[in-house]
Amino acid sequence: MFDVGDIVARHSHKQDLFFRIVQIRAGGGERTALLKGINTRLLADAPLNDLVEKNSSEIAHYQLKDFQEIYNKLKVVVNQRKVFQEKDEAEEFFEIPGRVLHLDGDEDYLNQCLKTYRQLGLEAKGICVSETEQPKLIYRILQENPTDILVLTGHDGFIHGKKDFRSLDSYRSSRYFVQSVIEARRFQPNRDALVIFAGACQSNYETILTAGANFASSPKRVLIHAFDPVFIVERIAYTPTDTLVSLKEVIKHTVTGTDGVGGIETRGQLRRGYPRSPY
């Protein structure tokens, strides 16, 4: 017997991903569960007879493997930044990286991302807002929270049985990300004055970019990692305003890579100052 909150995997997918059960439904003669990835931004449905419960040892091993991958990514990012900072220090410059506003439909992921932003030295504000409510609230939120970089994410997924990858009706949340980006662009049309990352697992990449996002997921409709937006944002925030972010470099340092995230040429949001104060 399964309960809401249990950590499970799916037999039909060779138990490749671990999920948390967020809802159990009865109907049509079959009980199904709504699943939320514990490290991927995916919502999925599965019949209960397809699920296998994972024990604490399996969960710990799964999470440790994920943490190690994220740690290695962070180490590369921080080391790269040190090289640039050493050049600036020699010239006595100081740096003001771009500010971040992160709206997330998942409070657990939001808190993890905010912790990582702080570790990376970024000023970030997070607001937990469901995917469906983001389009209704984003304009007012931007009025009240000035920012340089906006992240709009949560959970998404290509609906089982659908075949049209371009139709927003084929996705759980892509429609809301598109509407949110349109509203954000109504507030600030300039893609360099407000840099936007939007999307989650398997999101309608092309339509989100067309709506006005600088970066989005998912080019090949694959799952993305919870921290993929963080790695994109870090590079934007620490790239000078007079420099275009290297698309290949920024995407290479995400967890998912070009299958999961992509974007358009965008200027960085780092401002340098001179001279550095001794105080």
Label residue 39 by pLDDT band (50, 70, 90). confident
Measured between alpha carbons, how far is 9 from 52 in angstroms, rounded to an integer?
5
- Using DSSP, state whether 176 is helix, strand or coil: helix
Q: Give the full edge-to-edge strand order of the sheet including 262-263.
A: 124-128, 100-104, 149-153, 195-198, 215-216, 262-263
**Does residue 1 lie in a domain region?**
no
What's the pLDDT score for residue 10? 92
Could you give the maximum distance between any two Cα atoms of the chain, in Å? Answer: 72
Domain match, 103 and 24 both? no
Domain match, 12 and 102 both? no
Domain boundary among 54, 72, 92: 54
What's the pLDDT score for residue 133? 98
Domain match, 166 and 86 both? yes
Measured between alpha carbons, how far is 237 from 97 in angstroms, rounded to an integer?
5
Domain match, 118 and 142 both? yes
Cite the DSSP H helix spans in the chain. 56-90, 107-119, 134-144, 174-187, 205-211, 228-237, 247-252
What's the pLDDT score for residue 183? 98
**Does residue 279 lie in a domain region?**
no
For 150-202, what is each residue's pLDDT tens digit? 999 999 999 988 999 999 999 999 999 999 999 999 999 999 999 999 999 99
Domain match, 28 and 82 both? no
Label residue 78 by pLDDT band (50, 70, 90). confident
What's the pLDDT score for residue 90? 53
Question: Whole-prediction pTM value?
Answer: 0.86
Measured between alpha carbons, how far is 238 from 48 in angstroms, rounded to an integer?
46
Residue 76 has pLDDT above 90, yes or no: no
**Does residue 2 lie in a domain region?**
no
Domain match, 203 and 111 both? yes
Name the residue among 222, 144, 209, 201 with its Cα closest to residue 181.
209
**Does residue 278 lie in a domain region?**
no
Domain match, 23 and 122 both? no
What's the pLDDT score for residue 253? 85
| Domain containing residue 67: CATH number | 3.40.50.2300
Domain match, 46 and 160 both? no
Domain match, 27 and 108 both? no
For 267-278, what is each residue's pLDDT tens digit? 999 998 988 888
Strand partners, 104: 128, 153
Work out how many domains the chain is built from and give that number.
2
Measured between alpha carbons, how far is 42 from 4 in angstroms, rounded to an integer?
17
Domain match, 115 and 99 both? yes
Domain match, 66 and 189 both? yes
Paired tokens of 87: 């050049």
Domain of 114, in residue numbers: 59-273
Average pLDDT value for residue range 254-263: 94
Domain match, 44 and 63 both? no
